[in-house]
Amino acid sequence: MAVTRCTKMAYSSADEMVFGKATKPVKAGLGLEIGAGYTTPEVNYAPRPEAGASKEKLIKEYERITTDIMARMVQIGAPSVVLETEHVQQMSNHPDWGAAVAHAQKTIMEDYHDEYGIKCALRHTIGDIRESRDYLQLRGDKYNTFIEAFEQCAQNGADLLSVESMGGKEVFDYAILRNDMAGVLFGIGVLGSMDMEMIWSDIADVAKKNNVVAAGDTDCAQANTAMFIAGGLLDKNLAHTIAIIARAISAARTLVAYEAGATGPGKDCGYENSVVKAIAGVPIAQEGKTSTCAHSDLMGNLTMQCCDLWSNESVEYHGEFGGTTVQCWSETLAYDCALMNVALDSGNEKVLRDMFAASDMYRDPQGYVLAYQNAYRVGEAIAKSGNDIYVRAKNAALESIAIVEEGAKGKLEISRFETKALADAKAAFEGLTDDKDKFMSDCLDKYKKEVKVFLPENYGL
């Protein structure tokens, strides 16, 4: 499938962006439409550690999880739900395992849909298994198994296909721990985008053939790594100003899935999704205050600002006072969605959206840049050079820096360390060439020497 680059914004202004509505809504699964005027909870879960011991145990675990969620949604009257199964490595390495789990889950969901009419869809997020012990192995035998996992899941009940792909991570991991901005840009913006183009062209073909939805990727492996290393306000592992630069670049990478044929909804842990929605108009999943079971992110409310699916990221399946974890978290998600849907029905969605954004946007530079008005600006910086994956990623970085600098003159407080890290990063980006070929050549020389696990042939180089 040919790649069509995004060079224009899907919305003419940031103010047009709200939760529950996308310019290109997506029909999926059993009666569900995503981004069509209402929000839907998306529940994500992880099996207990011992459940991975055998195929039968895993299937049983997912059957329990699925039944628990569907039953709770019916018990509280939720009109719609999406279930996301993020593959454990056994399910992607053995595509028949993933397929069997998808089939078991979908059978249960169909029963609930038939009996109660609940709108629902099943997302399967295939694990990016393209690695050997020593290297990423993005092409070759592993790739065939990887695509086979999508194929089998699509044939056996998955309605939405996703992945958190790893392309570029070997260079990024090295660079982010050394404040190396060229490496961050090369890893996410260039290598990551090149890998995305390959895999999403193929995933979109699988989806089309099986009449399911190619739903999109996230830069979890890189931008979220930066966010997690950055941590909370008192952590000193990485400047939050650096983490938001990685995030801005990640939007240019995540966008590639849609340019290669995906239609959304984007993955919940793609905090760059507000930027992507602004450019591509696709519906998005997001997580925030309801993903504290998985991690802390400093923007619990802000991420709801223009979500279409509202997710809990991932919770291990076990018991709580209120039921199993998936029951507790799905109920919480459903109440959040009910609030957003009331706002949509009553015409108050922009007020609620702005309250979500305002409550977190000054908490930290990351939330500030991702607040929808600023996210839109990052989107414009990407789209204006949309045909050049390097220049657009660099533009995104520079725009995020400009936004933080402007914010720091106003109500956004940042520490002196973060200010210095921002200034150093700005100087690094401003010192980079505008010529993609020269940048590629410089980076190939440098990182082949410095990162022993970086194999250019993974990227067809």
Partner 1 sequence: MEVKYLIDIDPSGILVRYNVQMEKEMTPEEAAEELYPKDSLIYPVAKAIFEGEEDDVVEGLQKAIDSGKDPIALINDSLMVGMGVVSKLYDDGVIFLPNVMMSADAMLEGIDFLKQKAGKAPEVKGKVVCHVAEGDVHDIGKNIVVALLRANGYDVIDLGRDVPVDEVIETVEKESPLMLTGTALMTTTMYAFKEINDKLMEKGYRIPFACGGGAVNQDFVSQYELGVYGEEASDAPKMADFIKAHGDNIVKLREKFHKH
Interface positions with partner 1 (CB under 8 A): 46-53, 88-90, 131, 133-134, 173, 176-179, 225, 229, 233-234, 236-239, 316, 350-351, 354-355, 357-359, 361-363, 371, 373-374, 377, 406-407, 409-411, 413-417, 421
Q: Of 7 and 415, which CB lies nearer to partner 1 in the complex structure?
A: 415
Tally Cβ neighbours within 10 Å of residue 244. 31
Which residues neighbour 147 within 8 Å (Cβ) at sequence distance 6 or greater? Answer: 199, 202, 203, 206
| DSSP for 173-223, written as a single string | HHHHTTT-HHHHIIIIIIIIHHHHHHHHHHHHHHHHHHT-EEEE---IIII
Which residues neighbour 445 within 8 Å (Cβ) at sequence distance 6 or greater? Answer: none
Q: Of 97 and 310, which CB lies nearer to partner 1 in the complex structure?
A: 97
- Closest CB 374 distance from partner 1, rounded Å: 6
Beta partners for residue 286, in sequence order: 310
Q: Of 179 and 433, which CB lies nearer to partner 1 in the complex structure?
A: 179
- Closest CB 413 distance from partner 1, rounded Å: 5
d(CA 228, CA 234): 13
User: How many Cα atoms sit within 13 Å of 15 on the Cβ side?
Assistant: 1
- Closest CB 225 distance from partner 1, rounded Å: 6
Q: Of 80 and 305, which CB lies nearer to partner 1 in the complex structure?
A: 305
- Closest CB 396 distance from partner 1, rounded Å: 17
Q: Phi and psi (nearest 5°) for 162? A: -140, 170
- Closest CB 241 distance from partner 1, rounded Å: 11
Q: Which residue, chain included where needed, has tokens 């996703």?
A: 162
- Closest CB 207 distance from partner 1, rounded Å: 25
Q: Of 131 and 388, which CB lies nearer to partner 1 in the complex structure?
A: 131
- Closest CB 243 distance from partner 1, rounded Å: 11
Rounding to the nearest 10 degrees, give the CA dihedral for residues 314, 317, 320, 325: 40
Q: Of 121 and 239, which CB lies nearer to partner 1 in the complex structure?
A: 239
Q: Of 40 and 44, which CB lies nearer to partner 1 in the complex structure?
A: 44
Beta partners for residue 82, in sequence order: 42, 121
Helix (H, G, I), strand (E, B) or coil at 232: coil
Q: Of 27 and 60, which CB lies nearer to partner 1 in the complex structure?
A: 60
Tally Cβ neighbours within 10 Å of residue 135. 14
Tally Cβ neighbours within 10 Å of residue 76. 13
- Closest CB 24 distance from partner 1, rounded Å: 25
Tally Cβ neighbours within 10 Å of residue 448. 14
